Chains A and B, each alone.
Chain A
Amino acid sequence: MLKLENVDAKYDSFKALDNVSMTVGQGELVVLLGANGAGKTTLFNTISGLLKPSAGSVTLNGEDVTGRRPSALVQAGVVQCPEGRKLFPEMSVMKNLVLGAYVHRRDKAGIKKTLDHVLEMFPILEEKKNQAAGSLSGGQQQMVAIGRALMGRPKLLMLDEPSLGLAPLVVKQMFETIQTINREGTTVLLAEQNAFAALKIATRAYVIENGRLVMEGDRDTMLGNEAVRKAYIGA
């Protein structure tokens, strides 16, 4: 469904993405592994349209979407749950979620349905719905962020380091949730440093280093690969 061909992205003269080509198929859960600064967030922001690629093309279901505006991409079903969450801290949890459905704002019944589904997935948010999003714990804020992304009814959900800064038990729940979302039919692209947990739920994975994709493989190949184990799993 998503296809990147020879994509370059630059911050001034620094080349943050170098000749990146990748595909994400319908229904897959693709993991993007990489250390800090390898280019994971840059790649995501390029797909989301926050950053314009300096070369190459991005196609979505066969349609060229290179350089489209973020709002157009959200409309097309590409929704990112960003690193650092980027919530609206002083708005209530409920308002954050409802704004997640901004592109579907005319479809009141649809919003209600998605909202019910999100609250069913994260029951704690129902309790906290009137609290300011910024006042929640890290794990709960991450739920709001994922919930807000789901409210956009993504066809492709991109999650950028959702486990960052969370307690181990919460991380485990987070990965279970991501797996559930994927099983319900949403294609997922997941950037993670927590390689082992991420690979366990993955269909396929890519490894990114210094802005280049250096390795690709399905779940078992990656889990069995010596270099991946050494660099990202530490065993």
Chain B
Amino acid sequence: MDLFLQQVLNGLTLGSIYGLVALGLTLVYGILHVPNFAHGALYMVGAYVAYFTMVDLGLNYWLAMIAAGAVVAFLSVLCERLVFHPLRNAPPIHDKIAAIGILLFLEAVVQMYWGADFRRMPTPYTEILHFGGLTIPAQRLLIIAGAFGLMGALHLYLKKTMTGATIIAMAQNREGAFLVGIDANRVAMMTFAIAGVLAAVGATLFAPINLVYPAMGHLLIMKAFVIIILGGMGSIPGAIVGGLIIGFAEALGGFYISNEYKDVIAFALLVVILSVKPTGLFTKGVR
């Protein structure tokens, strides 16, 4: 039983990070119809910014997280302005190619400056907590609390503020949004900034129990796409639930089936769920 609970906890940790990353991806897709393959690279840049803010500048973990959020949000908006905005009337394939271009560019730049070494990010939260038979590293608790806290904050922002409402409005009816006077550029920049913050915070939370290296975003972005397809493209609850499903499937599958195959499980699950429900789990409303 304890072993099972331990896996549930691992699944929750993984799932909350996957959810955060997928949330940014699904927001951008649902509102601007851009499949942002560069999102994984933004996540990677977030981890590097946090790492160097802590190691080189000697600032604490939380300041590093804020720095990562700010830098990546800026970078994300810059991608929108310089790349996706000029392509807004181009065929969708151009967005895809451009996004892959940004991904390769960011990786190359990071590798040029900081090399391809694997780095371990320090964290001030190294205690191991014990609850009954459960062993819980404090960083994992922080990941779960941080991720869900941020999701809650995003939910409030989207539901309670006027700016948040414009983002939802744009997703539900683009032309309707224009006709009430919502500025498409503002919403686009806002959405990219939010996606950037989610990726950077996700990276800063997850990096201490993982490694920091230029290709760290690859598998994650693949899984994030699996998650948003599974949850329904553009769906916010879909991204969160989808993230948790993949997180749990990996943790439990990795433990009970085979650890070598844990990355395959996400994709196998995608095949199974899409054959039962081809439109994804939550497809209401947004495309």
Contact = CB atoms under 8 A, between A and B. Distances in A.
Nearest to A44: B179
Contacts of A75: 181
A79 interface: yes
Nearest to A82: B179
B172 interface: yes
Interface string A89-107: 1110001001110110100
B179 A99 contact: no
B176 A102 contact: no
Nearest to B170: A88
Main secondary structure, interface of B, reads: helix
Contact of B162 (A85, A87, A91, A102): A102
A111 B226 CA distance: 43
B181 A152 contact: yes
A87 B176 contact: yes
B179 A102 contact: no
A158 to B, nearest CB: 10
A230 interface: no
A38 B48 CA distance: 58
B178 A50 contact: yes
A50 B178 CA distance: 8
Contact of A70 (B162, B165, B181): B181
A148 B180 contact: yes
B111 interface: no
Contacts of B175: 50, 82, 86
Given A99-B166, A102-B162, A88 B172 contact: yes
Interface string B149-178: 000000000000010011011001101111
Contacts of A66: none
B176 A74 contact: no
Interface string A128-157: 000000000000000000001101100000
Contacts of A70: 178-179, 181
A99 B171 CA distance: 14
A186 B69 CA distance: 47
Size category, A interface: 20 to 34
Interface in A99-131: 99-100, 102-103, 105
A86 B179 contact: yes
Contacts of A90: 172, 284-285
Nearest to A50: B178
Contacts of A194: none
B108 interface: no
Interface in A30-81: 48, 50, 69-71, 74-75, 79-80
Contacts of B285: 89-90
Contacts of A80: 179
A50 B184 CA distance: 12
Contact of B179 (A48, A89, A98, A105): A48
Given A50-B175, A88-B173, A90-B172, A74 B165 contact: no
B79 interface: no
Nearest to B182: A102
Interface of B: 162, 165-166, 168-169, 172-173, 175-184, 284-285
Given A86-B179, A91-B172, A152-B180, 4 more contacts: A70-B179, A70-B181, A99-B180, A102-B182
19 contacts: A74-B179, A82-B176, A82-B179, A86-B175, A88-B168, A88-B172, A88-B173, A88-B177, A89-B285, A91-B165, A91-B169, A91-B172, A98-B162, A99-B169, A102-B180, A102-B182, A148-B180, A151-B180, A152-B181
